[in-house]
Amino acid sequence: MEESLLIKKAIDGDLDAFNQLVLSYQELAFNVAYRIMSNEAAAADATQDAVILMYRKMDSYRGGSFKSWFLRIVTNTCYDELRKLKRRPTVPLEPETDEGDLVESAEWLADKSIGLEEAAINAQLEKAIQDCLNQLNPDQKTVMVMVDVSGENYETVSQVIQSPVGTVKSRLSRARLRMQECLKNKRELLPEQFRLNYEDENV
């Protein structure tokens, strides 16, 4: 069924039409939430809250890109959750070794399709990038995640953050420069092929 028809039905209160829209965008929404929250459980909660909020606010949808509208709700919900977490920090219930050290429960350990070495490289890379993403301010982080991780175009991102395309470009470029600086400090942790070359920095 066409998206515009689904949207119209959802606005009229058709739950099935609404759920079809949710299913279309839930993976994108969850991945954006995950990169912003950097925690799967928190990202799932934020996505679910965003879906509920979207259902309540369907009447206020005024046309335009539904994806952008949904992603705006998701990012706003994520930053609301992050603010709450900042006020009430929580301790994750990670398994511990006999010595009391946390057992790293990396996602790649469960993935049997790739080799252990490749999985370890991916985990290191992901951790380094996620750490650097977390150091960006929310505006830069949102733009960086949507363009470089989710592959959205500038127009969609500009609708999500409700700013001109020029602002998206400059924020993105600043975010990338900061990421470079951050990853330079983690150079030893990165796989060889992903080490940024700083030999000629002082040229």
Partner 1 sequence: MFNQEKLSPRDLELLASAVDQNLSSPEQVEFDKRLGESQHFAESYRQQQKLKQMMAQLPTRSVPHNFSLTRAEAKKAKRSAIWQPMFGWASAISAILFGAIFGSELIFNNYSASPALMAKDAPALNESAPMAAFEGEAPPVYFINWNYSGFNDIGGKGGAGGISNSGGYGVNIFLANVPDLAVEDQVEEFAVSSAAPSDQISELSSDENFEEAAPETRELPEEVFAEPMVAAEEVLEEPMPILGASPQENAEPIEHEAPLIFGINPEKMGEVISESVAVQDAAPETEVAKPETQEVFPLSLRLGLLISAALFGIIWLYLRFKR
Kindly state the tokens that stand for 92.
């994750």
In the complex, the smallest distance separating the C-beta of residue 91 from partner 1, rounded to whole angstroms, is 18
Q: In whole angstroms, give the CA distance from residue 86 to residue 41.
A: 16
In the complex, the smallest distance separating the C-beta of residue 82 from partner 1, rounded to whole angstroms, is 14
**Token pair 């996602």 is at which residue?**
107
Which CB, 20 or 97, lies closer to partner 1?
A: 20
Which CB, 55 or 61, lies closer to partner 1?
A: 55
Picking from 8, 6, 2, the residue whose alpha carbon sits closest to that of residue 16 is: 6
In the complex, the smallest distance separating the C-beta of residue 32 from partner 1, rounded to whole angstroms, is 10
Kindly state the tokens that stand for 29.
């929404």
Which CB, 85 or 96, lies closer to partner 1?
A: 85
DSSP symbols for 15-39: HHHHHHHHHHHHHHHHHHHHHHH--
Binding site for partner 1 (CB under 8 A): 15, 18-19, 22-23, 26-27, 29-31, 34-35, 40, 43-45, 47-49, 51-52, 55-56, 84, 107, 122, 125-126, 129, 144, 147-149, 151, 153-154, 166, 168-170, 172-174, 176-177, 179-181, 183, 194, 196-197, 200-203
Which CB, 88 or 98, lies closer to partner 1?
A: 88
Which CB, 162 or 202, lies closer to partner 1?
A: 202
Q: Phi and psi at residue 96, in whole multiples of 5°?
A: -115, 155
In the complex, the smallest distance separating the C-beta of residue 100 from partner 1, rounded to whole angstroms, is 29
In the complex, the smallest distance separating the C-beta of residue 62 from partner 1, rounded to whole angstroms, is 18
Q: In whole angstroms, give the CA distance from residue 67 to residue 25.
A: 7
In the complex, the smallest distance separating the C-beta of residue 71 from partner 1, rounded to whole angstroms, is 14
Which CB, 9 or 169, lies closer to partner 1?
A: 169
Picking from 197, 80, 196, the residue whose alpha carbon sits closest to that of residue 138 is: 80
Q: Which residues contact 181 (CB under 8 A, 6 or more apart)?
A: none
Q: Which residues contact 184 (CB under 8 A, 6 or more apart)?
A: 196, 198
Identify any residues that bridge with 102 across adjacent strands, giving them in sequence order: 96
